[in-house]
């Protein structure tokens, strides 16, 4: 069974249709990469999966359970999901370690000692152990985003959603963030990520979906969609990405 | 090797003063500049002193040469008389301070409840949201003096046993009613100022509404509204003087009693000076807190 199954999803903001009849399945331990221009619906799709936005039609299943049911306990669903934002969204009034342990302690009922030691293990693994007691504003953008990723996986999610996690970063900081994502992928984490980093997408993606106007217009393995796109729209998009020096 | 590559020459071949850039003594030009800066600084001090002297001097001149100055000086600035009433006014201002301290605790609690009710989105809170909005509208819209009069004379008329008929208690209630509405709005604006992405991040970590509020939104909101709340504290201290209208013997009332006994208004000036003794340090402290929070926000922005 797939971890995530999105069927015929529709979402509009007022008269603007953002997602139109979009379907997507994500099997366990795979990474699905969403590519497409800004406004094509990538972020909205991730926010709908996370129930941060309500959908207009269609259904979303997580581990076979329909989470688009209006009566569902959204907090229960979100405990199974991790989300990383483009703008990090670390809590500025908390130290790195408190940012990471907040949800394990308050939501998952992990003892403070255990939450702390698990968080330290993750920080050590990703080379941030010395930043544990720092506040986010003392960290570089790349470090902040790495902490945000650690925060989202500290609750051991079934599915990790990454929304353009390197778009707000200096080019030299991008790689330190992407290497964490690569590590998580090789750990077997199931994930859906929106990105403009095509080289990175090629490395981690089991499936690449090219979105245009709220639809997945081309999908397949990275080798096919990114290296050898079939549709003119995909070719045009990749050509523009290439011009911007991101390929 | 050309001269251009030598470490003691710059890129156009001019000799540099030192091989090691860390060993440095000011160049002749820099020495000149330092001297010039000192000269300009001295000139600024002289200009500031002269302008201050002229402005304050002419203000003092207008005051002292005014036809009524002699009388005013005697009836408002009679320091030897002022000294004899000082202890009475100090006793009065202790009432203002005590009232302020007790009221600010009550205001904090009520205002927080009002702000939470107004910002809550849950269905069960609908009546409270409505009531809180009505409360804020009413008590922000009615002058404090009127609220004091209405409470001071209205509540005793109800003859409810548990509310004591002490004017001090009634005055405090009136001040708390009005200030809760103001402070609630300050706290609410703080809550609304926390960026929605912070809520999104908290919710996506599985925190529910109230956990998000308690651990993520409120700590940031309160930090931001501390400067305006300190401002309100200063205003509160001054406005406690209004309860004197009910007969509470605070600093204003104590001064009034003395002034009407002797027809000398120096006690009022004494009361004003006593208020300033508290409010000026408090406002300076508020300024410091405000500056600190601004520089912190700027640091957040550049991070």
Residue B127 resides in a domain: yes
Domain containing B99 equals: 88-294
Q: Using a CB-CB distance cutoff of 8 angstroms, which residues of chain A are in contact with residue B211?
A: 106-107
Contact B211 A106 (CB under 8 A): yes
pLDDT in tens, A138-195: 999 999 999 999 999 999 999 999 999 988 888 888 888 899 999 999 999 999 999 9
Residue B27 resides in a domain: no
- How far, CA to CA in Å, does B104 sit from each of A207, B97, B172, B235, B277? 60, 10, 10, 11, 19
Contact A79 B206 (CB under 8 A): yes
- CATH superfamily name and code, A24-53+70-80+158-247: P-loop containing nucleotide triphosphate hydrolases (3.40.50.300)
- Chains A and B: how many Cβ contacts under 8 Å? 66
Q: Using a CB-CB distance cutoff of 8 angstroms, which residues of chain B are in contact with residue A78?
A: 203-206
Say yes or no to pLDDT of A247 above 60: no
Q: Using a CB-CB distance cutoff of 8 angstroms, which residues of chain B are in contact with residue A141?
A: 303
Q: Do residues A46 and A83 make contact, with C-beta atoms less than 8 angstroms apart?
A: yes
pLDDT in tens, B6-35: 456 667 777 665 566 677 788 889 999 999
Total count of domains within chain B: 1
Contact B197 A85 (CB under 8 A): yes
Residue B2 resides in a domain: no
* Distance, CA of B166 to CA of A213 (rounded, Å): 70
Query: What string of DSSP letters covers B183-240?
Result: HHHHHHHHHHHS-HHHHHHHHHTT--HHHHIIIIIHHHHHHHHHHHHHHHHHHHHHHG
Specify the CATH number for the domain of residue B162. Answer: 1.10.3720.10
Burial letters B3-13, b for 16+ CB under 10 A, else e: eeeeeeeeeee
pLDDT in tens, A108-120: 999 999 999 999 9
pLDDT in tens, A63-92: 999 999 989 999 999 999 999 999 999 999
pLDDT in tens, A36-50: 988 889 999 999 999
* Distance, CA of B242 to CA of B259 (rounded, Å): 17
CA B122 to the chain's CA centroid:
34
Residue B249 resides in a domain: yes
Question: What's residue B1's pLDDT?
Answer: 44
**CB burial of residue A190 (10 Å; 0-12, 13-18, 19+):** buried
Structure pTM? 0.81
* Distance, CA of B178 to CA of B106 (rounded, Å): 12
Q: What is the overall mean pLDDT for chain A?
A: 92
Residue B142 resides in a domain: yes
Residue B171 resides in a domain: yes
Question: What's residue A160's pLDDT?
Answer: 95
Residue B100 resides in a domain: yes
pLDDT band at B298 (very low <50, low <70, confident <90, very high): low
Please choose, from the candidates B202, B224, B228, the residue with its C-alpha nearest in 3D space to the C-alpha of residue B213.
Answer: B202
| Domain edges within chain A | 24-53+70-80+158-247, 90-156
Residue B58 resides in a domain: no
pLDDT in tens, B126-156: 999 999 999 999 999 999 999 999 999 888 8
Instruction: Name the residue among B198, B208, B215 with its Cβ closest to that of A89.
Output: B198
Of all residues in chain B, the one with the smallest CA distance to A160 is B204
Higher pLDDT, B3 or B63: B63
pLDDT in tens, B93-136: 999 999 999 999 999 999 999 999 999 888 889 999 999 999 99
* Distance, CA of A180 to CA of B127 (rounded, Å): 48
């Amino acid at each position: 069974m797939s971890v995530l199954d999105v069927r015929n999803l529709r979402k509009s903001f007022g008269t603007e249709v953002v997602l139109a009849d979009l379907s997507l399945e994500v099997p366990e331990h795979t990474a699905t990469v969403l590519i497409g221009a800004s406004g094509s619906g990538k972020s909205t799709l991730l926010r709908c999966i996370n129930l941060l936005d309500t959908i207009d039609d269609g259904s979303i299943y997580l581990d076979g359970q329909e989470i688009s049911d209006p009566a569902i306990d959204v907090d229960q669903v979100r405990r199974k999901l991790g989300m990383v934002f483009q703008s990090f969204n670390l809590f500025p009034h908390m130290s790195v370690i408190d940012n990471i342990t907040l949800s394990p302690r308050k939501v998952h009922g992990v003892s403070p000692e255990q939450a702390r030691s698990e968080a330290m293990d993750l920080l050590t693994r990703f080379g941030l152990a010395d930043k544990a007691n720092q506040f986010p504003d003392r960290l570089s953008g790349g470090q902040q985003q790495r902490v945000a990723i650690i925060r989202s996986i500290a609750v051991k999610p079934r599915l990790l959603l990454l929304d353009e996690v390197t778009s707000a970063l200096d080019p030299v900081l991008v790689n330190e963030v992407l290497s964490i994502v690569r590590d998580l992928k090789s750990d077997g984490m199931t994930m859906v990520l929106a990105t403009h980093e095509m080289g990175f997408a090629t490395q981690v993606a089991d499936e690449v979906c090219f979105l245009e106007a709220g639809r997945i217009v081309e999908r397949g393995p990275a080798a096919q969609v990114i290296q050898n796109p079939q549709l003119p729209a995909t070719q045009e998009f990749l050509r523009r990405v290439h011009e911007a020096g991101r390929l | 090797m050309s001269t251009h590559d030598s470490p003691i020459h710059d890129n156009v071949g001019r000799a540099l003063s030192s091989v090691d850039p860390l060993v440095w003594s000011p160049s002749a030009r820099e020495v000149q500049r330092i001297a010039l800066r000192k000269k300009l600084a001295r000139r600024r001090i002289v200009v500031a002193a002269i302008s201050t002297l002229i402005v304050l001097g002419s203000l003092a001149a207008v005051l002292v040469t005014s036809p009524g100055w002699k009388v005013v000086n005697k009836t408002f600035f009679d320091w030897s008389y002022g000294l004899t009433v000082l202890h009475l006014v100090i006793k009065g201002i202790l009432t203002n301070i005590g009232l302020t301290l007790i009221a600010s605790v009550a205001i904090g609690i009520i205002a927080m409840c009002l702000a939470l009710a107004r910002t809550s989105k849950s269905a069960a809170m609908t009546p409270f949201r409505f009531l809180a909005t009505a409360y804020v509208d009413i008590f922000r819209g009615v002058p404090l003096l009127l609220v004091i009069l209405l409470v001071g004379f209205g509540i005793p008329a109800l003859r409810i046993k548990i509310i004591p008929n002490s004017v001090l208690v009634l005055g405090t209630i009136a001040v708390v009613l009005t200030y809760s509405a103001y402070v609630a709005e300050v706290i609410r604006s703080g809550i609304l100022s926390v960026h929605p992405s912070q809520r999104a991040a908290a919710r996506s970590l599985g925190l529910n509404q109230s956990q998000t509020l308690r651990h993520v939104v409120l700590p940031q909101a309160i930090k931001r509204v501390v400067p305006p709340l300190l401002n309100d504290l200063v205003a509160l201290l001054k406005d406690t003087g209004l309860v004197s209208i009910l007969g509470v013997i605070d600093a204003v009332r104590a001064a009034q009693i003395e002034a009407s006994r002797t027809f000398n208004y120096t006690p009022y000036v004494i009361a004003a000076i006593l208020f300033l003794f508290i409010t000026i340090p408090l406002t300076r402290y508020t300024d410091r807190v405000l500056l600190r929070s601004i520089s912190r926000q700027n640091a957040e922005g550049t991070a």
